[in-house]
Structure 1
Amino acid sequence: MPFAAHHRRNSKRPLPLDTLLTSQVPRGNYLHILEDKQRLQLKKFLLHRMFLVASIQANVEKKEIAEYYDQVFQSILKHHLGEVVTGLLLIYPTSLLHILESSNGTLHQILLDYFNGEKNKTEFWVQKMKIIVISHNIPTRLFIQWYVSVVKVPVLYLDDVTKSQSLEEVITDFFIQTHKLALYIFKTVKVGSRGPGDNLHQTAPDLLPAEQIIKYLCKSEELMDPATFVKLYSKPLHVISDAEVVWPAPSSF
């Protein structure tokens, strides 16, 4: 009997090769899929996009504005390596539209620099800046690099939509128009070039937001200014967990 039992144990067939391989293959999850996707896109940080509008002094020059932002970007890049800023800066006669794409930390530093400049300088050339929206964790960039373009002639419409439409409708049309403008620049501007130039009012007049829209958004009290955003961003969150809640609540007699 012992010999027969030993013979039965040794006579077992080896497990199929497919079974062995299946047991050794690691099982992935959704987190691994997201991490692999980030590696394939060569992303070192999550990408965000911010839309800003502001009023500017009438006598300020394009060169001065471009140099200001170049210095801000270079200063931030020293502390946020590899987090390059791309986007578009449209300079109107008395206002500007700025679209920025970069990391969350870089965008926060840009707002902080404006907030400090407005607080320390009595006559800062950028005024009434408002944040239209900040889109978090966007999949790709709309712009290959950072462009500056001057709108030399006022872009106006016969009908003032700011009087007939709500703020939500104005912002919706604003985003549709700027998105079409970004796609136009992406398709027409070559990599490494200086940008679309200062003739967008001739090549794509229907894609440029009217300056009256920019001024309307700058005056809107419903939109957040950088000072309020920076304060909320720096404010710590006080979260009360369930373990900290005692019921019934203690009371004094």
Structure 2
Amino acid sequence: MSFMVHTRKGSKKHYHVDPLLMPKVPRINYMHLQEEKHRLQLKKFLLHRMFLVGHIQENVEKKEISEYYEQLFQSILKHHLGEAVTGILLIYSSTFLHIMETSNGTFFRILLDYVAHEKEENEFMIYNMKIIVASHNIPTRLFMQWHISVIKVPVLYLEDVTQSQSLAEVTTDFLTMTHKLSLHLFKTIKVGMKGPGDNLHQIAPDLLLPEQTIQYLCKADEFLDPVTFLSMYNKPIHVTLDSEIVWPAPSRF
């Protein structure tokens, strides 16, 4: 609200605006606050974080998986606007854990590429993928780059504890440990630094998930596979009811 004060020429009387009526703080709306936050964080799109698990085909080398994802990320950014992918891919003996941070459209195309390979190839290098959780509109990244690491788990960590736990308990442990691991890497790995490499089991052995946990989650029907997830993603929000297409329109009293 603005105040305009007019004075007549030659008049010695002055009009003063009550200082209590003047706005003390610039009035901006919530959208402007969000836009400023994203500008400060150098984000063009909203960020999302996704936790994926799955199996790896036998005799697949780490280099093949690394090259596949790096080429896929570059191809997506080249042809579609979006945020760069950051995160980490942990490769176990027969399973993997993948944490990715990027924009929604990039996630959509990454999953589409996986589904296409799964349909076209008899034995794609990764299979039986499950989406454990997707966090939307995260405030900041936990990873400044994308890393890949082979986990050489010692015998000490091969004890299977999932047999005596419920799905909720296993999922809670999974999210707790992956979050702690992500925070640890966030504090220790800076921009431009080399990732943990294949020594993660030595750097943070207490923060690594047992492979049995990943195998357990891959078998759980409660988690969506990429095909089901994409089907729900493409499903229209506005559903036309039968009562909306009959004539004459039903009247309600």
How would you bin the TM-score normalised by the shorter chain?
Answer: 0.7 to 0.9
Q: What residue in structure 2 maps to residue 3 of structure 1?
A: none
Counterparts of 2:131 and 2:156, CA distance in 1: 22
Q: Which runs of 5+ in 1 are unaligned?
A: 1-6
Q: Tell me the CA shift for residue 166 of structure 1.
A: 1.2
Alignment partner of 1:118 is 2:118: yes
Identity %: 64
Range moving further from structure 2, 33-42 or 176-185: 33-42
Tell me, yes or no, if the aligned pair for 1:156 and 1:211 is still in contact at 8 Å: no
Against the structure 1 CA distance between its residues 28 and 191, is the aligned structure 2 distance closer, same or farther, given a 3 Å change threshold?
closer
Match of 1:196 in 2: 196
Instruction: For residue 68 of structure 1, give the secondary structure of its aligned residue in structure 2.
Output: helix
CA drift at 1:185: 1.4
Instruction: Describe the shift of the 1:183–1:24 C-alpha distance in structure 2 as closer, same or farther (beyond 3 A).
Output: closer
CA contact (8 A) 1:154 1:211 kept: no
Distance, in Å, in 2 between the alignment partners of 1:162 and 1:19 is 65
Instruction: Say yes or no: does 1:247 pair with 2:245.
Output: no
Match of 2:91 in 1: 91
Secondary structure of 2:163's aligned partner: helix
The AA in structure 1 aligned to 2:77 is: L
Cα distance in 2 for residues equivalent to 1:194 and 1:207: 19
- On the 8 A contact 2:91/2:97 being kept in 1, the answer is yes
Structure-1 separation of matches of 2:165 and 2:215: 15
Match of 1:137 in 2: 137
SS in 2 for 1:149: strand
- Cα pair 2:82 2:105 within 8 Å, conserved: no
User: 1:211 maps to what in 2?
Assistant: 211
Secondary structure of 1:152's partner? coil
Check the 8 A contact 2:55/2:128 in 1, yes or no. yes
Structure-2 change in CA distance of 1:191 and 1:155 (3 Å): farther
The question of 1:63 aligning with 2:67 is answered: no
User: Residues 95 and 215 of structure 2 are in contact (CA less than 8 Å); yes or no, is this contact kept in structure 1?
Assistant: yes
- Report if the CA contact (8 A) 1:95-1:214 is conserved: yes
SS at match of 1:78: helix
> Shift of the alpha carbon at 1:189?
2.3
Residue 26 and residue 117 in structure 1: after superposition, are their counterparts in 2 closer, same or farther (change >3 A)?
same
Contact 2:158 2:211 (8 Å CA) reproduced? no
1:65 maps to amino acid: I
Residues 155 and 210, structure 1, Cα contact 8 Å, conserved in 2? no
Higher-Rg structure is 1
How many residues align? The count is: 240
- Aligned residue for 2:67, secondary structure, equals helix
**1:90-122: CA deviation from partner (whole Å, max 9, x where unpaired):** 001111000000000001111111011101111
TM, length-normalised to structure 2: 0.85
RMSD across aligned positions (CA): 2.8
